Chain A
Amino acid sequence: MAATQSQDLLKTPLFDTHEKWGGRMVGFAGFAMPVQYKGVIAEHEQTRNSASLFDVSHMGQVVVTGPDHETTARALETLMPGDLVGLNPGEMRYTLLLNDEGGIEDDLIVTRPGEDDSDGILMIVFNAGRKDHDVAILKEKLGDSVKVETFWERGLMALQGPKAADVLARYCDLPSKLSFMNAAATTIEGMDVYVSRSGYTGEDGFELSVSPDDAVKLAELLVSNEEVEPAGLGARDSLRLEAGLCLYGHDMDDKRDPISAGLIFAIGKGRRVEGGFAGAPVVQKIIKDGASEKRVGVKFEGRLPVREGAKIVDGDGNEIGVVTSGTFGPTIGAPVAFAYVPAELAKLGTELTAMVRGKAVNGVVEKLPFTPANYVRL
């Protein structure tokens, strides 16, 4: 339980605000980030029952610009399997950055802004720990066909929970206009904010991108609402796990393909057939033949958390799989995990055994998400 050394870590625009709010700061992807304020379980439940504000400014905000939408989208589609050409103005899509072996270099969200004069612009949010790597890939592979600009200093915060829309509606009209996975620009008390209806908790909610100079003012404004409390990375992790959402570097990496990771929805339906993206021959073969291993959701008996790295074993104790994320799910009230297992053991209801410190823990393959998704589609 050593104290975290924070002097070498990067700070988001909300660093001082976290300290003021009593955040316990830890190192994450090179940033000093709050792992919790009052407590992980309290913040988890706050998000499920009311609303929480998460600082996600460590993530990598990028703008890719070409002469028109189709040119920019086609350029990115050479590296990403999502249907980006088909994005309508104001829509956003979850997809992946793939390598030539079909491995996942990162997962990300691409947004096509709908504002005037935004034709040819696509906005991307990458994972914090991968953003420099990802931008290097984009610049190397796309050359001069599009311009790639990074906005690492910019603020990004997530307002998440069933009360998020009520709260945001006090400042702008977007909660009544934006459907899940749509985005638009607005003004909140004089601040220019780019708002999307998205998140990483399984609840309704919004992500708000803002100038670093306005980040503190916006965060304090949102938290001043009685329905909203700040929440840290700990709750973000347990929320996303219950919501069935993958974490890069844990549930997928550059050796894992999208099909075994259960992310085929990140590949456009037409593109599964047509290909034309990095790793397409490998991915198309796996789609045709089926993945030999699959990521599954597992709920375990008892209360002992089954964490990343725990082995899944067969009746003779032989290792047949591995847990890639796991925690005690506060809403589920039981240990929940993602594990990679042989495809024949991926069926719902299959009984699996994990080993934790030499003890066998029994679990069952459950449908994902563990908790119902409460996304709002207008």
Chain B
Amino acid sequence: MSDTRYTEDHEYITVAGNEGTVGISDYAQNQLGDVVFVDVPEVGAKFAKGDEVAVVESVKAASEIYAPVSGTITAVNEKLADEPGLVNSSPDADGWFFKIELDDAGELEGLLDADAYKAHIE
């Protein structure tokens, strides 16, 4: 059973068990335009909710990605190094940024569900 939640800053986190997969929404990739580089965190690094955890660079600008929850990085998407365009072509699947082990699953309650996020971007 997995569940996807969103931040108001357009990150998503899809949680399975105690691990969440984080990326940016389709709306966000469309706003950014062509992604040319993703600066991902190191495996093992710890972040608090709201910390700057990654940077996504489009042709025009660099945008910070914030940790949607507190936790420890368990994996990063190595494919993005050669194929950053996956963030545009497949933001919610192949274009994920990193996986994070949650410190406190209760933090998910403060995030937007799919309907609330949809309302947020309209």
Contacts and interface: CB of A to CB of B under 8 A. Distances in A.
B57 A304 contact: yes
Contact of A234 (B10, B28, B60, B81): B60
Contact of A36 (B28, B33, B36, B57): B33
A303 B34 CA distance: 13
Interface in A12-41: 35-36, 39-41
Contact of B59 (A40, A302, A304): A40
A238 interface: yes
Interface string B30-60: 0111101101000000000000000101111
Contacts of A330: 59
B59 A1 contact: no
Nearest to B31: A1
Contact of A304 (B28, B39, B58): B39
A40 B33 contact: yes
Interface size range on B against A: 10 to 19
Contact residues of B: prevailing secondary structure: mixed
B84 A303 contact: yes
B62 interface: yes
Nearest to A35: B60
Contacts of B36: 303, 305, 328
A238 B34 CA distance: 12
B91 to A, nearest CB: 14
Contacts of A42: 34
Interface string B4-17: 00000010000000
A328 B10 contact: no
B34 A41 contact: yes
B55 A357 contact: yes
A46 to B, nearest CB: 13
A42 B89 CA distance: 14
A1 B32 contact: yes
A307 interface: yes
B59 A328 contact: yes
Contacts of B60: 35, 40, 234, 237, 327
A302 B28 CA distance: 24
B90 interface: no
B34 A1 contact: no
A40 B37 CA distance: 15
Contact of A303 (B37, B62, B63): B37
Nearest to A233: B60
Given A303-B81, A303-B84, A305-B62, A39 B33 contact: yes
Given A35-B60, A238-B59, A328-B59, A1 B10 contact: yes
A304 B32 contact: no
Contacts of A304: 37, 39, 57
Given A40-B59, A40-B60, A327-B59, A305 B10 contact: no
A328 B57 contact: yes
A1 B28 contact: yes
A330 B35 CA distance: 11
Interface string A31-64: 0000110011110000000000000000000000
Interface string A224-268: 000000000010011000000000000000000000000000000
Contacts of A305: 36-37, 57, 59, 62
Nearest to A26: B60
A308 to B, nearest CB: 11
A40 B10 CA distance: 21
A39 B37 contact: no
Nearest to A2: B31
Interface of A: 1, 35-36, 39-42, 234, 237-238, 302-305, 307, 327-328, 330, 357
6 contacts: A1-B32, A303-B36, A304-B37, A305-B37, A327-B60, A328-B37
Interface of B: 10, 28, 31-34, 36-37, 39, 55, 57-60, 62-63, 81, 84
Given A234-B33, A303-B37, A327-B60, 15 more contacts: A1-B10, A1-B28, A1-B63, A35-B33, A39-B33, A40-B60, A41-B59, A42-B34, A303-B36, A303-B84, A305-B37, A305-B57, A307-B62, A328-B36, A328-B59
